[in-house]
Structure 1
């Protein structure tokens, strides 16, 4: 049961900001952008703020949003040793990225079983949590665009235009295919190894590249595009209950 009526989740990732508006337990809208959309006329009772950005960047974003909603209560979410029945694997819990922590909590509550959580965006993040709510740990690897960008930035003659990236059969027969498909195969090999280690676990995925990658492996999965926001709602509500 929701603690407050209207909640705005601000999920500040490395490359974009995602805003999710809740009315009770219902998601009203989800938007990405540099600033919170105002066309909906939505004024939150409370804002749950989760950011993986630097302290300086987070503080600037905080100030901008709070200026837009000066009457709204504000909660900055951080990774903890225990929250919502989930135990953090990190010796220093606060050093686990808040996006990973919220994704683990949401996946545990959604699936109620042993779960592998995959978030493939700027980076590919994998976390494992068992049905008892014990976070076992996880991995961070470069995302597809990051791998491709690193290769191009560190070489002088590997170059191609965007319109050269086309699908093909068999071994890549162009530089564009060699790079893009090579990066994809590296990511697939990483995820296939995780599946080999945890074959009986259910998989929950989020992030722009997750489902496309895992479709190649034929892994049964549940796609939750709003996983971090769902975790933020759980953690924020728990904190508010504790303050009442």
Structure 2
């Protein structure tokens, strides 16, 4: 049994991987609750894992706190995976491979393993990340922007008299709240469409569009041909661990 952990800027997702498949798992907002409070109830009931693999984009202090908690609970040191130059069928575009967020690398690997093709991966959490790969697994590179939610909160925090009420998603707004909400979402959609068009020019074909992350669901309908990915980072960790 292996314990797989994906810790992002806001949420921690975990899964138990046994006999090549997910057995159980969970998710929680780690900024709000300490690891021992949120995870002990679930993890103390687990058998000692043969390995713990972690995808992390958080600070080293948070990683050390998580590692110490795991070592106390399981007496197993976690392996924090870093992005390599090439692995799992993916060739990293970055000149300094480890600087590519490992969550992005692992998600691409899971996507490519499922269906090798030209595709763009959109991941929306705290940040909005875009990555393109060819059918051969060659990573072209990507973009990082604030998610629509983060853009909205940043705008509300830097301006006066807007208010904090959430607006509706419309194409042309006639209230400030709707204008903020719609402007932040439509900016993200336009970025995705432009990135996909640029990737198509390099790849010589229009790439498939796949989205992952909890921040997508409120506006995914604006990109009607976007396919929905699920737990791609955890699936990439499972591939890294040997299945």
1:241 equivalent in structure 2: none
Give the superposition deviation at 1:170: 5.7
User: Once the two structures are superposed, what CA deviation does each residue of 1:118-153 show, in whole Å capped at 9, x if it has no partner?
Assistant: 101111101111111111101101101110011011
Query: Are 2:8 and 1:13 aligned?
Result: yes
Structure 2 residue runs without a partner (length 5+):
none
Q: How does 1:1-244 map to 2 (within 5 A)?
A: 6-33=1-28, 34=30, 35=35, 36=39, 38-39=41-42, 41-43=45-47, 44-70=49-75, 72=76, 74-162=78-166, 165-166=167-168, 171-197=172-198, 198=200, 200-221=206-227, 223-237=228-242
Q: Relative to 1, partners in 2 of residues 1:170 and 1:200: Cα closer, same or farther, differing over 3 Å?
A: closer
Give the superposition deviation at 1:166: 4.3
Q: Relative to 1, partners in 2 of residues 1:215 and 1:161: Cα closer, same or farther, differing over 3 Å?
A: closer
Structure 1 residue runs without a partner (length 5+):
1-5, 239-244
Q: Is the 8 A contact 1:205 1:211 kept in 2?
A: no
Scaled by the length of structure 2, what TM-score is found?
0.87
Give the superposition deviation at 1:160: 3.4
Q: Is the 8 A contact 1:160 1:175 kept in 2?
A: no
- SS of alignment partner, residue 192 of structure 1: helix
Provide the rounded CA distance (Å) in 2 between the counterparts of 1:26 and 1:123: 28
Provide the rounded CA distance (Å) in 2 between the counterparts of 1:220 and 1:205: 6
Provide the rounded CA distance (Å) in 2 between the counterparts of 1:58 and 1:142: 23
Q: Is the 8 A contact 1:123 1:146 kept in 2?
A: yes
Scaled by the length of structure 1, what TM-score is found?
0.86
Q: Is the 8 A contact 2:71 2:77 kept in 1?
A: no
Provide the rounded CA distance (Å) in 2 between the counterparts of 1:140 and 1:170: 24
Give the superposition deviation at 1:218: 1.6
Please tell me the root mean square deviation across aligned C-alpha atoms, in Å: 1.9
